[in-house]
Amino acid sequence: MMEVKISIIVPVYNTERLLPRCINSILSQSFRDFELILVNDGSTDKSGEICDCFSKRDRRIIVIHKENGGSSTARNTGLVVAKGDYIGFVDSDDYINKYMYEILYKNATNYFSDIVICSYEDIYDDQYCTSYKFEDNKEVQHFNNIDALKQMYMSKTKYITYVVPWNKLYKRNLFGGIKYEVGNMYDDETVAHKLLYNSHKITFINSNLYYYVQRKGSQMNSPFHIKKLDKVYALKNREIYFRKMKVAELHQKALKHYMEMFFWNYFLARSKLKNIETELIKLKRTFDESLIHLLRHRGLSLKQKLMCVLFCLSPPLYEFMRDIKSK
């Protein structure tokens, strides 16, 4: 059995147009000691054939064909067969800088880091980006697990940077007992905090080595639908996780974030979707359970706490009072 330093896992689903660019950017890496695990998640286009074609050209490629189950099942499947000391993920519609894994691996081994993170660049579908140049003198920061988790709550960009799986290199043993939540559209939200919390040292490199392609029709850029409520459930579970871990400051941040996303998504769902009363009742139960903790929250005003109580008593009355306040 060939030993490899890095296992790169790519969940593949109906991205035949962009998939070759993604695979080529990985095969062109300056770092060569890796295996590439392409998990074809029941694609209905030619993505599966493209994977098989590439595997005939490069012995580092492993192709797995499975029934469609979402990116969570594809990532979990890849993790089961991965043999590398470190794990990386790339989305099949994105691509990466030629030196990305060389830089991440060098920092992981030099600094004995459990996770190494790089920044990313938003690239639009029709945009070209030179992927073989980078600035080597970029800032490098090191965090313990708690300080890395605090970074998530500093800005929207930092939140994405620390939550998504694809701009990172992980020690494989971090995934012992941790799996992506099957069926959750925001599966990265279900594990990011656990992986960071279980790490002793996290290194961040402020260099855009990952190219995040923004395309119409992608799952994240689709119109609001009921599965987008999955994020609220994921954030609720994160709030519970930090509560159980007894990390007060992180619990406060996670609880407030959950509250904000709950209200936004609850009323967006009510206005945009039909026949979802059962789902809204289920969603509200998660908020009712959080009420006592929201009332104890040191960062919420008395008015915010009273509005939380009002919502638990009567969502329509809460909405009425909120509208009066906004006017």
Residue 129 is predicted with a pLDDT of 73
pLDDT at site 217: 60
- Are 166 and 118 members of one domain? yes
| Strand partners of residue 40 | 12, 65
- pLDDT at position 139 is 86
Residue 238 lies in a domain: yes
The rounded distance, in Å, linking the Cα atoms of 181 and 183 is: 6
- Position 220 in a domain: no
Show contacts of 134-137: CB within 8 Å, 24+ apart.
134/97, 134/99, 134/103, 134/207, 134/208, 134/209, 135/207
Write down the mean pLDDT value for the chain: 93
The answer to whether the beta carbons of residues 185 and 230 sit under 8 Å apart is: yes
Distance in angstroms (rounded) separating the CA atoms of residues 92 and 229: 24
Q: Is residue 2 scored above 80 in pLDDT? A: no
Calculated CA dihedral for residues 258, 264, 267, 272, nearest 10 degrees:
-120
Q: Can you tell me the mean pLDDT for 210-234?
A: 84
Rounded Cα gap, residues 139 and 137, in angstroms: 7
Note whether 206 and 236 are same-domain residues.
no
Alpha helix (H) ranges present in the chain?
Answer: 19-27, 47-57, 71-81, 100-111, 145-151, 156-163, 187-197, 230-245, 248-272, 277-295, 302-313, 315-326
| The two structure tokens encoding residue 124 | 């639009």
The answer to whether residue 205 is domain-embedded is yes
pLDDT class of 244 with cuts at 50, 70, 90: very high
Residue 146 and residue 234 in one domain = no
Average pLDDT score over residue span 20-40: 97
Q: What is the arithmetic mean of pLDDT over 68-88?
A: 97
CA trace torsion 292, 298, 302, 306 (10° rounding): -20
248 and 120 in a common domain: no
Same domain, 63 and 171: yes
- Residues 315 and 270 occupy one common structural domain: yes
pLDDT tens-digit map of 265-283: 999 999 999 999 999 999 9
pLDDT at 123: 92
Domain membership of residue 81 (yes or no) is yes
Whether 51 has a pLDDT exceeding 90, the answer reads yes
Question: What confidence tier does 324 reach under pLDDT thresholds 50, 70, 90?
Answer: confident
Q: Of 184, 214, 244, at which residue does a domain stop?
A: 214
Q: How far apart are CA 151 and CA 326, in angstroms?
A: 31
Determine phi and psi for 206, rounding to 5 degrees: -85, 65
Tell me, yes or no, whether 150 and 27 share the same domain: yes
Per-residue pLDDT, 95: 96
Residues 143 and 24 in one domain: yes
Q: Are residues 185 and 246 in the same domain?
A: no
| 156-202 residue pLDDT tens | 999 999 999 999 999 999 999 999 999 999 999 999 999 999 999 99
| The pairing of beta strand 202-214 with beta strand 115-124 | parallel
Number of domains in the chain: 2
Token digits of residue 109: 């081994």
1, pLDDT greater than 60:
no
Same domain as 196, residue 106: yes
Q: Which residue type, as a one-letter code, is found at position 277?
A: E
The Cα 21–Cα 96 span in angstroms is 9
Residue 12 · residue 43 · CB < 8 Å: yes
Residue type for 49, please? E
Task: Output the pLDDT for position 215.
Answer: 72
pLDDT of residue 306: 94
CATH code, domain carrying 203: 3.90.550.10
- Token pair, residue 166, equals 């694809």
In a domain, residue 221? The reply is: no
Of the chain, the percentage scoring pLDDT greater than 90 comes to 87
Question: Mean pLDDT throughout 250-274?
Answer: 95
Structural domain for 156, as ranges: 6-214
236 band by pLDDT with thresholds 50, 70 and 90:
very high
- 126-146 tens-digit pLDDT: 777 766 677 776 789 999 999
pLDDT band at 223 (very low <50, low <70, confident <90, very high): confident
One-letter amino acid for residue 58 of the chain: D
Q: Is the pLDDT of residue 247 over 70?
A: yes
Q: What is the SS3 assignment for 225? A: coil
- What angle (nearest 5°) sits at the alpha carbon of residue 42, between those of residues 36 and 44? 115
Distance CA 29, CA 97 (A): 8
For residue 288, name the pLDDT band (cuts at 50, 70, 90): very high
Residues 135 and 45 in one domain: yes
